[in-house]
Amino acid sequence: MFIVHIADITMFYAPASGGVRTYLDAKHRRLSVKPGIRHSLLIPGKHLSEQDGVYQVPAPALPFGKGYRFPLRLAPWRNVLQDLQPDLIEVGDPYLTAWAALDARRQLDVPVIGFYHSDLPLLVSNRMGNWVTNNVEAYVSKLYGNFDRVLAPSQVMANKLIGLGVRNVFVQPLGVDLQTFNPTARDPGLRAELGIAEDTRLLIFAGRGSKEKNLPVLLDCMRRLGPRYHLLLVGSSMPAQVPDNVTVVDEFCPAPQVARLMASADALLHAGDQETFGLVILEAMASGIPVVAVAAGAFQEIVTEQCGLLCTPNNPLAMASAVRELFSRGSVMLGEQARQHVERHYAWDAVVNSLLGHYHAVLGTQWPLTANG
């Protein structure tokens, strides 16, 4: 049987990784059982190794920990790709691994797709200032102009690439694990565990406590909402000083643990205004809870009126008002509608089938009939 071999390559893969690892793991599980398809995943590791189609390529660990590794040498990545002889390569970051894939293309004569998961100019300007923005935009334009097709997780990201002159850009949303993130994960004992009353309205935010998440807005919002509302902050690098109606779980939590907390809350609160997609929004909706987020980034594409409310960015007063309005509308009904929405539009199986359409388009006649099975 003819097999099409797809290889993913990225350095965005660590034990506490976010959306890119979630996407790649979900994709690897589903492609590995599809007839006519072989899937290889190249990620950074301590030593060269392979297990179940996942290849670890040597890369030094970053000094600030969290399990991330930063490739410094192009050759090991290019060599693994040349040994694997894939029919198509997908690149998951804009760094050295991307150039390794383009280098391998010259020898293998195969198409390379770039998935633009992160807004690189924005990330760099957040950390270094606007003086580097033009150079970073030129770099992104040059790199992504080399790919046979470029995927972006949201229209707002696609528009940024198109604005930089990148062609062949397509919107490809990510998905959510509907089994893990599920209303059945609800734990009725969570409020007692947190030491709050049963009728307290429990809000949750899960993710890294990085600057772009705008956590001070959430904390100010909670001060305005008062003791009838309680916020659970879940994830690494969370603030130490918080109002009395905020509980912090300052550690990376595995998905099943986050799913239990999500399903046990009444709504998700998110003040981040630079999200390229917002996977945690989908996880909350899949858990059967509605969302209060800011009208910025990709959230305007994901959060419908049936699933939650959007408010003015960087405005704690507007966010507090939106939270009150959400409960006046009926948070339970909105949560049920949110679950139905993600079931219809964001199941991983549907996402992977959409990806196969992109692969088919760039592979053309090489695509096997069995790959659609």
The per-residue b/e assignment along 50-87, b for 16 or more CB within 10 angstroms, e otherwise, is eeeebbbbbbeeeeeeeebbebeebebbbebbeebebb
At 162-194, the pLDDT tens digits run 999 999 999 999 999 999 999 999 999 999 999
- Categorise residue 147: left if φ over 0, alpha if ψ from -120 to 50, beta otherwise: beta
- Within 13 Å and on the Cβ side, how many CA atoms surround 309? 19
* 300 confidence band (pLDDT: 50, 70, 90): very high
Confidence of residue 365 (pLDDT cuts 50, 70, 90): low
pLDDT grade, residue 318 (50/70/90)? very high
Which pTM does this prediction carry? 0.92
pLDDT, position 188:
94
pLDDT band at 372, cuts 50/70/90?
A: very low
At 263 the pLDDT is: 98
The residue length of the chain stands at: 373
**The predicted structure's pLDDT at residue 236:** 87
Look at residues 60, 140, 32 and name the one whose alpha carbon lies nearest to residue 94: 140
Q: Which tens digits make up the pLDDT trace of 236-271?
A: 889 989 999 999 998 888 899 999 999 999 999 999
